[in-house]
């Protein structure tokens, strides 16, 4: 079930495919220190979602060396609810776009999409894309890092 006690995923705005490892003095994002827990992916009132096989990032995109994306298509927001669904996320490296895989979960709480994420290999991070303005964010007292 959904809970108000969900951690904000750090550096959401830097996880977009238009951002690159080492760009603008950015030392890069690494999710090797994540805890196994639910994460919200909001930034400045915008909902982000994980990239998928239709928008697979290139090596060094998303402010990381090894970007991570969903192996299959991201579930539609309309099909998600408070019950978590299982998905596989792929680590993108130079030669093998899905050699390392991570089990993740996706759910929708209220109108917000959230992810249960594991720690990853060093210098790898989950990639996100901004998709919609999150109106409920403006009416709730969520505190984002």
pLDDT tens-digit series, residues 45-102: 889 999 999 989 998 999 999 999 999 999 998 899 989 999 999 999 888 878 899 9
**pLDDT the model gives residue 94:** 82
**pLDDT the model gives residue 134:** 55
Looking only at the bridges linking them, the beta strands covering 85-91 and 37-40 are unpaired
**pLDDT the model gives residue 131:** 84
Residues facing 68 on adjacent strands: 91, 126
Q: For 25, phi and psi rounded to 5 degrees?
A: 75, 5
Q: How confident is the model at residue 42 (pLDDT cuts 50, 70, 90)?
A: very high
**pLDDT the model gives residue 140:** 38
Comparing CA positions, the residue from 128, 133, 129, 85 lying closest to residue 105 is 85
Alpha carbons 60 and 66: distance in angstroms, whole number: 6
Alpha carbons 113 and 100: distance in angstroms, whole number: 24
State yes or no: pLDDT of 138 exceeds 60: no
């Amino acid at each position: 079930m959904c809970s108000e006690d969900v951690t904000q995923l750090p550096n959401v705005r830097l996880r977009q495919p238009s951002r690159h490892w080492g760009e603008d003095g950015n030392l890069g994002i690494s999710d090797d220190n994540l805890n196994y827990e639910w994460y919200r992916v909001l930034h400045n009132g915008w909902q982000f979602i994980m990239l998928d096989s239709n928008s697979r990032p290139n090596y060094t995109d998303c402010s990381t060396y090894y970007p991570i994306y969903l192996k299959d298509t991201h579930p539609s927001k309309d099909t998600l609810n408070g019950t978590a669904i299982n998905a596989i996320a792929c680590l993108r490296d130079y030669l093998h776009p899905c050699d390392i895989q991570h089990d993740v979960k996706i759910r929708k709480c209220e109108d917000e999409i959230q992810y249960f994420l594991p720690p990853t290999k060093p210098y790898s991070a989950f990639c996100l894309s901004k998709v919609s303005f999150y109106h409920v964010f403006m009416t709730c007292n969520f505190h984002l890092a």
